[in-house]
Amino acid sequence: MKTISYTTVLDLSHPLDAAAPRWPGDPPVQIEPAASLERDGYRLSRVSLGEHTGTHLNAPAHFIDGGATLDAISPERLVLPAARLDFSAACAANPDAVFGLAELAAWEAQHGPFPAGALALLHTGWQSRWPDAQRFFNPDEAGRLHFPGFGLDAARRLLEERGAAGLGSDAHGVETGLDETFAVNRLALSRGALVLENLCNLDQLPVTGATLLIGVLPLRGGSGAPARVLALV
């Protein structure tokens, strides 16, 4: 029998509203009244948004031809341990900072081998820029985005050698904004790993020992969906 012991529940998800920063070109968030207490006796809103809006989970189908869609992810995979990789100091100094093999080696020298089966959560500190889209995406004059993320080498070691269940970040991608090939996403999703983006409150997580509960809309055929991610600490 599996047991989970905890004293605190942390919400790692941003509240979702029309002010949520969205990837350039993604549909806007629209929340409009469809029924009211005064007129209809109940309240109901019509909601329209892109699948990858706010705190969200990527399914393999997001980048992989023939990849699994959101409804094919088993519920057992949505309850799992987490390990926090604190990269915030480097990111404060360099918005294009890459968490590479050297950073992973330094983390493991301090905390021991990355725990197999855990989701690797990259704490960049980028949550402090939410919901200011200009600061969050940090585009330059040419429109290229500048935010930190995993390097492909470190992602490959975590997923292929350490047995990480997936990758997450408090920025809008698990790779840097300058990586327009989305190489880390493609690597993770090609292996069926989980990818979480736009997380928050990672600074409140312990390095290890937390359990994540990922509540996500089971969109049939979906390439991803907004998620409510809770951490039991």
pLDDT per residue as tens digits for the range 75-131: 999 999 999 999 999 999 999 999 999 999 999 999 999 999 999 999 999 999 999
Q: Are strands 208-216 and 79-86 parallel, antiparallel or unpaired?
A: antiparallel
> Is there a contact between 91 and 127 (Cβ–Cβ < 8 Å)?
no
Cβ atoms of 58 and 182 within 8 Å: the answer is no
- Looking at domain 9-21+51-232, its CATH superfamily turns out to be Putative cyclase (3.50.30.50)
> Mean pLDDT, to the nearest integer, of 14-19?
95
- Domain range summary for the chain, segments of one domain joined by +: 9-21+51-232
Residue 175's pLDDT is what?
98
pLDDT per residue over 27-80, tens digit each?
999 999 999 999 999 999 999 999 999 999 999 999 999 999 999 999 999 999
Q: Write a three-state SS string for 87-119.
A: CHHHHHHCCCCEECHHHHHHHHHHHCCCCCCCE
Residue 2 has pLDDT above 90, yes or no: no
- Could you read off the pLDDT of 116-174 as tens digits, one per residue? 999 999 999 999 999 999 999 999 999 999 999 999 999 999 999 999 999 999 999 99
pLDDT attached to residue 214: 98
